[in-house]
């Protein structure tokens, strides 16, 4: 994590140096965002694959279970599907909660971005009035 050291003599730092550091920080931020998106995508892919494998294994196990008639097998598979539908619904609800939080942060960012010129204008006017 990079912080501004109060001991740095601003007169000795060139604008080019600061611009270079700024561009590197911007690239690093972009990299962390892309990494987060990649992790989320890979996680969802893994969950999807694992769910499919579990459903297939459950169906295979139930279909080969001795002592069940064709009607009972069908009922058991129906119950398994209903259980998985419930699990999907829980995951969908959780994703909706997470996405709602992301949308709130996005809206705050947009509003902050739109208000930034106004705030800077007020600070400038206040600074001019003060000094």
What does the alpha-carbon distance between residue 63 and residue 52 come to, in Å, rounded to a whole number?
Answer: 16
**Would you say residue 126 has pLDDT above 60?**
yes
The residues near 51 (Cβ < 8 Å, ≥ 6 apart) are 84, 87, 88
Domain ranges of the chain: 12-64, 70-131
CA 5 to chain centre: 32
Handedness of CA 7, 10, 11, 16 (dihedral sign): positive
Taking only the tens place, the pLDDT of each residue in 52-90 is 878 888 777 777 766 555 756 677 788 888 888 888 888
**Would you say residue 40 has pLDDT above 70?**
yes
Share above pLDDT 90 across residues of the chain, in percent, rounded to a whole number:
0
Task: Specify burial of residue 68 (Cβ count, 10 A radius: 0-12, 13-18, 19+).
Answer: middle
């Amino acid at each position: 994590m990079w912080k501004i050291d109060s001991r740095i003599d601003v007169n000795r730092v060139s604008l080019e140096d600061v611009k270079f550091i700024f561009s590197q920080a911007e690239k690093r931020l972009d990299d962390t965002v892309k990494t987060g998106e990649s992790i989320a995508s890979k996680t969802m892919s893994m969950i999807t694959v694992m769910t499919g494998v579990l459903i297939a294994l459950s169906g295979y196990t139930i279909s080969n279970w001795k002592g069940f008639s064709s009607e009972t097998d069908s009922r058991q598979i129906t119950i398994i599907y209903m259980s998985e539908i419930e699990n999907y619904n829980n995951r969908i609800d959780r994703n909706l909660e997470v996405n709602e939080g992301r949308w709130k942060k996005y809206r705050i960012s947009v509003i902050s971005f739109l208000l930034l010129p106004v705030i800077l204008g007020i600070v400038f006017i206040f600074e001019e009035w003060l000094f």
